[in-house]
Structure 1
């Protein structure tokens, strides 16, 4: 059977470019959006010196896959041939960001800018890497994880504890969310190779990602004992301090770095995040502006300003943002940031059609970078409903008996930060953060996927009461560092709604509060929010609706099999009757009423979620009907919601 990919590649290698082009066009007539054929056509056109045609074909690829690294690299070669040096540099930069293993793109960047220290370091590091491992790294960045893992594991059979291979295999684990394997590999690598610094940095970063900030502190400090002036390790340490809520130490590190290197835009951005979490709004704004002042194309700096929810852009800022948001050839995450920032800017000026247009562009671009499947999420919800049944809970009598945890679950942008702010204003309740402990536990129970169906939650039926008690003990132990000594504490990870059955088994006396918001308001608020990580369902209106429907369906199941275990708190009712809902929540948590809970906006705690500035103000009705300004554009969402 003819293989057009193989045949076109063979013709290109034989310099039979006209035949290769004809074969590519014939294949595209049947499948016009076949990215691999489009890429081979681009290469053919470039080799035929038809650079303008090649760029047009590349734009078709990037419209489908904005992060196609080799397409950006081909664009670099074409723009270079057309003597468009600045655009060529930008294209090679995008290629390197999409696939940091592209040595040829890094070399071109270095040729075009000999002062580019990052390119010089990358060329040096990649050139010294074993060729098999470099090939595996390339495959990993191309999303071919299984093949990359196979090459790594084969290499480790002959060189059992090679640190480069161990780190690369851990990185594949991180990208495929097999976090236990990644932690084990990096921990082992650090023990076996105490002077191999990349492992320590990757390990500390992973611990921060998993919310294990205390452990990350220890690893980063050990690194800095060996290399006290390493700025990457210092920023990792600052992130860990921020994670445990020690914002002053985090800010002190950022200030120390900026005292030496004041032109580091990324450090100004991180400092802004810490200041925002602390409640120092004006100082945070100044830091974000310092970041974009040093790097005008820094989309994250503009989005961070928009994400304060209360900052209003000037006309000059809007013009600058628009300049970058309208660069159709720019398919980077920076442009996503610019589009979301411009959506917020036009929302503030009540130009809702323009606002939605940019929100939609940003979402479409971000969604094209992800591999989210609504069908997969529905299947996971079905498994919870199937296996977390009355039989499971009627057989279980133990677990850790503590009453300390209060879980606030639900969808993002449903008002969970407001509920956390209210409850944590009580003298008996600590706020922590969106803890990863339950999600990590579920991931470990799931294990490595050997077929289409994960072991969890079916395997909950096979666990003993003692094992559930041990898991409950582990949760309390892991979360202890985030508490400040109050009898109760809050875990505000919204995605825990998926694992309420697991929570009941390991912590039968925990309290669970479902933060519920009117579906249109909740879904649209999520659609116009660019999340730092996760929430991949939120970048498409139909995916958003499917996720909301699955969430409501699963919560109804928990109500059925665990009556009274979950308290539903509607956002609209909190706004309309604050005191009534506050008393209701406190009674559910067996807490006496305290006036401080009504005066929640006076609570000075650190808040790291997008709603931080909003919950530092008295209750407001402002956001309840915002979605109606966009109703004309939301029919796909309206149609898809149950």
Structure 2
């Protein structure tokens, strides 16, 4: 949650520079926008807005430390709305550099400057949640609702960290009351509908829960283009270009061997990363967006060995800013399964762990989560099942080429037989067994995914065959009966 670049006076040279940079950024060329600003910034040394905008583009280009320095220089020049600058610094620390302590300090500084600054309150609450501090997170979200009683996202965040047991809970009633107000913004309405679905699922009122989720997804679908199976298949075919490209250098970077944990969203990837991260020879990177952001094929470029080598060098630099050196490090981003060929050509030593789950449980979990336009299949259970099928087909192609470096693991088996499954996985990685992997829930690391609270608990099996609670609402699945 950050702000866009500042608007600058239309008559100035700086405005022309900013217009060119914005155009490049909106076309997906953040690196060019940042370089353009950097090359011309010497002409506007005393203009705080220029430093702010340059920092914005640097952040989107992945130059996080330099972006922070530019934001700090804008502060030194007395930029207006300094709380907005501290917000952006905090987001970089949190999402880019994976430093929750520095992020929390930045968000807190924004709130010192302006106590009612909702974006900083929300981000600070998210930081507390990522660290497992439920009470501090709840206090932030309650403050958001107190300041803006129709703030749907504030209600949604508070509901997400609340375990409901009765449907007349005051928080549920407050959300239901909010929905009766005709002037509630659609975005807030969607957030509250998802939250009410979660609350009624907690209370085992499954019919009411599904009704709320159905309304939420119907409205959410209106905000994005529909998912198209043919378009997804075209993307998959384009990614297969990498099968025809020679691999880059096979040397291991200073940070260690990358282990990419991927698969379907909501299939247990966060749980598995937490388990592996408890091992003394594994560091965890969480959801790194490098390959999603710099995917050449997605930008319309042709796959080449030169691109693979450049991406390999850039990725090693990217990781070195974030993670300590270790034998292995994890990069857990589910949709990297679509880019497995690219990643394997850029980093031939990389290993891949693919998480899988019963398709109906997986599809239902996705349907119960508000997702953005990049996951537009999620608004329909049928579309999600079709997406899973396409992903499985692509995985089969990757396995034919890279099978020795791909390990497929089932969520259900991990939950039901954790030690057996982990021992086999560690053996595949040539790592010794460490019992600490079973005590993953005691780790105090930061978790930045929708599964943040699940991985703070010991293993449980209640998510297995959860779809049976909603069987009457689900399409028939052609797989074997379970």
TM class by shorter chain equals 0.7 to 0.9
Q: Secondary structure at the match of 2:120?
A: helix
Taking the TM superposition and a 5 Å limit, the aligned residue runs for 1:46-57 are none
Which whole-Å CA distance do the structure 2 matches of 1:262 and 1:269 have between them? 12
CA contact (8 A) 2:90 2:103 kept: yes
**Higher helix proportion (structure 1 or 2):** 1
The residue that corresponds to 2:325 in the other structure is: 485
Q: Secondary structure at the match of 2:445?
A: coil
RMSD: 3.0
Q: Is residue 320 from structure 1 mapped to residue 174 from structure 2 by the alignment?
A: yes
CA contact (8 A) 2:31 2:58 kept: no
The residue that corresponds to 1:232 in the other structure is: 84
**Post-superposition CA distance 1:537-564 (Å, at most 9, x none):** 2122233222211111111111112221
The residue that corresponds to 2:116 in the other structure is: 263
Distance 1:388 1:253, change over 3 A: closer
Which whole-Å CA distance do the structure 2 matches of 1:233 and 1:520 have between them? 43
Taking the TM superposition and a 5 Å limit, the aligned residue runs for 1:106-125 are none
Distance 1:212 1:363, change over 3 A: farther
CA contact (8 A) 1:161 1:189 kept: no
> In the TM superposition, what is the alpha-carbon distance from 1:600 to its structure 2 partner?
0.7
**Post-superposition CA distance 1:418-469 (Å, at most 9, x none):** 01101111111111221122223313x554xxxxxx334xx33xx25xx644
> In the TM superposition, what is the alpha-carbon distance from 1:242 to its structure 2 partner?
1.8
Q: 1:301 aligns with which of 125, 137, 154?
A: 154
> In the TM superposition, what is the alpha-carbon distance from 1:325 to its structure 2 partner?
3.1
CA contact (8 A) 1:167 1:189 kept: no
Q: Secondary structure at the match of 1:442?
A: coil
Q: 2:447 aligns with which of 607, 615, 623?
A: 607
The residue that corresponds to 2:239 in the other structure is: 384
Q: 1:551 aligns with which of 383, 388, 391?
A: 391
CA contact (8 A) 1:413 1:522 kept: yes
CA contact (8 A) 1:406 1:512 kept: yes
Q: Secondary structure at the match of 2:294?
A: helix
Distance 1:199 1:314, change over 3 A: farther
Q: Is residue 245 from structure 1 mapped to residue 85 from structure 2 by the alignment?
A: no
Which whole-Å CA distance do the structure 1 matches of 2:267 and 2:454 have between them? 13
Which whole-Å CA distance do the structure 1 matches of 2:169 and 2:137 have between them? 20
Q: Secondary structure at the match of 2:295?
A: helix
> Greater shift after overlay, 578-587 or 304-313?
304-313
> In the TM superposition, what is the alpha-carbon distance from 1:533 to its structure 2 partner?
7.3
CA contact (8 A) 1:211 1:435 kept: no
Unaligned runs of 5+ in 1: 1-99, 101-121, 131-155, 448-453
Q: 1:630 aligns with which of 447, 470, 473?
A: 470
Q: Is residue 364 from structure 1 mapped to residue 218 from structure 2 by the alignment?
A: yes
> In the TM superposition, what is the alpha-carbon distance from 1:192 to its structure 2 partner?
4.9
The residue that corresponds to 2:424 in the other structure is: 584
Q: 2:266 aligns with which of 407, 410, 413?
A: 413
State the TM-score, normalized to the length of structure 1. Answer: 0.67
Which whole-Å CA distance do the structure 2 matches of 1:240 and 1:397 have between them? 30
> In the TM superposition, what is the alpha-carbon distance from 1:577 to its structure 2 partner?
0.8
CA contact (8 A) 1:400 1:469 kept: no
The residue that corresponds to 1:528 in the other structure is: 368
**Which protein, 1 or 2, shows the higher relative CO under an 8 Å CA cutoff with sep ≥ 6?**
2
Taking the TM superposition and a 5 Å limit, the aligned residue runs for 1:422-501 are 422-443=275-296, 446-447=298-299, 454-456=300-302, 459-460=303-304, 463=305, 468-501=308-341
CA contact (8 A) 2:247 2:347 kept: no
**Post-superposition CA distance 1:55-110 (Å, at most 9, x none):** xxxxxxxxxxxxxxxxxxxxxxxxxxxxxxxxxxxxxxxxxxxxx9xxxxxxxxxx
Q: 1:542 aligns with which of 367, 382, 406?
A: 382
> In the TM superposition, what is the alpha-carbon distance from 1:372 to its structure 2 partner?
4.5
The residue that corresponds to 1:217 in the other structure is: 68
> In the TM superposition, what is the alpha-carbon distance from 1:200 to its structure 2 partner?
4.2
Q: 2:204 aligns with which of 350, 359, 362?
A: 350
Taking the TM superposition and a 5 Å limit, the aligned residue runs for 1:274-313 are 274-308=127-161, 310=163
Q: Is residue 166 from structure 1 mapped to residue 48 from structure 2 by the alignment?
A: no
The residue that corresponds to 1:519 in the other structure is: 359
Which whole-Å CA distance do the structure 2 matches of 1:588 and 1:183 have between them? 42
The structure with the larger Rg is 1
**Post-superposition CA distance 1:94-127 (Å, at most 9, x none):** xxxxxx9xxxxxxxxxxxxxxxxxxxxx9xx79x
Q: Secondary structure at the match of 2:329?
A: strand
Q: Secondary structure at the match of 1:564?
A: helix
Q: Secondary structure at the match of 1:535?
A: helix
**Post-superposition CA distance 1:404-426 (Å, at most 9, x none):** 21100112111110011011111
> In the TM superposition, what is the alpha-carbon distance from 1:602 to its structure 2 partner?
1.1
Q: Secondary structure at the match of 1:515?
A: strand
**Post-superposition CA distance 1:1-33 (Å, at most 9, x none):** xxxxxxxxxxxxxxxxxxxxxxxxxxxxxxxxx
Distance 1:331 1:493, change over 3 A: same
Distance 1:223 1:422, change over 3 A: same
**Post-superposition CA distance 1:494-520 (Å, at most 9, x none):** 111111111111111111110111111
> In the TM superposition, what is the alpha-carbon distance from 1:236 to its structure 2 partner?
0.8
Unaligned runs of 5+ in 2: none
> Greater shift after overlay, 254-263 or 564-573?
254-263
